[in-house]
Copies of this chain bind each other. A is one copy, B any other.
């Protein structure tokens, strides 16, 4: 089992867009080449095809940050799962704390993504909602306490019990789902702790996206992740 470092670009200006978006993609590609760790990149939809061009034919995966819970058709300004599949994406993040979905829609999107060959990384705010999501059988569930997101205070240090409780509650209802954590993850050390507490990897945003040198941060995280597993 390989560890996972998932990078949520969010919508930081200027970091998540344009040339910097591609620089993060090149960094991810290099780390994958050097370590084999699975890096998932989730750029803004407007950057998706350019980021995909950079990592083509590598093990780096590209996800949408969100998909709208509707069938394709007359839906101006919405992006159904088909939009991501047609662009060549490998999967989607769903239900991020900044873009919560209704429960019925989470279930609908997980099932439909599976039929379309797209992977799903579904976020939860607390261990109990993580377990509720695990019942719906996504590929990955990431538990992130919203109050720590963007703080630089890693969940693995501030609230390790969130991680251990998540693993315990989720495993009661689902043996297979990959468990990630996130919120405040800033360094390889935080990733190491997160994996030691029972997860397979992390969901990271500003620590990589706003980094002066994204390669250094991703590399550090990937190496420590390998050590921990």
**What is the interface of chain A, defined by CB distance below 8 A to chain B?**
8, 10-14, 16-18, 42, 44-50, 64-66, 72-80, 82-84, 86-87, 93, 95-107, 124-126, 128-129, 131-133, 135-136, 149-150, 169, 172-173, 205-206
Contacts and interface: CB of A to CB of B under 8 A. Distances in A.
6 contacts: A11-B79, A13-B80, A17-B82, A49-B49, A103-B106, A107-B129
Contacts of A73: 10-13
Given A77-B96, A99-B76, A173 B11 contact: no
A107 B132 contact: yes
B100 A46 contact: no
A12 to B, nearest CB: 6
Contact of A104 (B49, B83, B84, B97): B97
A172 B124 CA distance: 21
Nearest to A82: B13
A20 to B, nearest CB: 10
A74 B10 contact: yes
A93 B77 contact: yes
B126 A135 contact: no
Contacts of A66: 76-78
A205 B74 contact: yes
A66 B78 CA distance: 8
Nearest to A68: B11
A128 B136 contact: yes
A87 B49 contact: no
A133 B103 contact: yes
A76 B150 CA distance: 12
Contacts of A106: 103
A129 B136 contact: yes
